[in-house]
Amino acid sequence: MAPLTHNSLKYGTLTLAPWLLSAMIVAGLVFSLHLLKQQPEAPKADLITRKIDVALPTPPPPPPPPVKTTSSSSEPSQTALNLASLGDGPSINYADKPTMTLPKVESLELPNFAIDAKVIQERLALDMPLLAVEKLDRVPQVVRQKYFPPPKSVRQKGVKRIKTQVELIIDQSGKPYIKRIVDPVYPEMEEVIRAWVSHAIFSKPKKDGRAVQAIYFYSINFNYGR
């Protein structure tokens, strides 16, 4: 075996140097790859797309066109009222502070209300039937009456006979009450009719033998010829 000289060592070193350098580079790359594999990779973000239907609200209707108002600078006209043809009504004073005056009334005549309806309500038996005389066993007859002279105004007319008509209600005892005066012939005769009815007595109205109350359109004949 030939001894190694300085030149041969130098030549061998130069020959191995590129290989050693390449091996070191490869080892560095392998080591780097090994480090990269050990580092955790960041998770990939998943992008999810969804379809959403959005319903837009119905737009409001357009506003109405503005109303143009015209202002008049003229003063309102005064209305003249002619109350002359309306009779004697209240007088109106058109002033800054209007006042109303009413016509003066000297007296008022109160209406004459008959009390017969109230008397009937108080005295008649409400639990007893009220029948027309046509449905009774017999038409009631006057069994007692009183004479009343005619008013002076009627005597001055020279009337001898006055035929009046009234609507009576006769209770179960035969007592009559005026429901209404149908025809007094003369207004002055109303008081005479009321006086006659208040003193008259009829026969008892009966139906099937039992006493009842009856309604009777009755003619009162006043004879003043004697």
Listed by start position, the domains of the chain span: 116-223
Residue 175 Rama label (left phi>0; alpha psi -120 to 50; beta): beta
Residue 223: C-alpha distances to residues 16, 147, 156 (Å): 180, 10, 15
Which pLDDT tens digits describe the chain residue by residue (226 residues)?
A: 445 555 565 666 667 777 777 888 888 888 777 777 765 555 565 666 666 666 666 777 777 777 766 555 445 445 555 544 445 555 555 556 656 665 565 555 544 444 455 555 555 555 567 899 999 999 999 999 999 988 989 888 888 899 999 999 999 999 999 999 999 999 999 999 999 999 999 999 999 999 999 999 999 999 887 5
- Give the pLDDT confidence score for residue 20 in this predicted structure: 79
Question: According to the model, what pLDDT value does residue 78 have?
Answer: 52
Q: CA-to-CA distance for 133 and 202, rounded, in angstroms?
A: 12
pLDDT at 66: 76
CATH numeric code, 116-223: 3.30.2420
DSSP collapsed to 3 states, the chain: CCCCCHHHHHHHHHHHHHHHHHHHHHHHHHHHHHHHHHCCCCCCCCCCCCCCCCCCCCCCCCCCCCCCCCCCCCCCCCCCCCCHHHCCCCEECCCCCCCEECCCCCCCCCCCCCCHHHHHHHHCCCCCCEEEHHHCCCCCCEEECCCCCCCHHHHCCCCCEEEEEEEEEECCCCCEEEEEEEECCCCCHHHHHHHHHHHCEECCCEECCEECEEEEEEEEEEECCC
Check residue 162 and give its pLDDT.
92
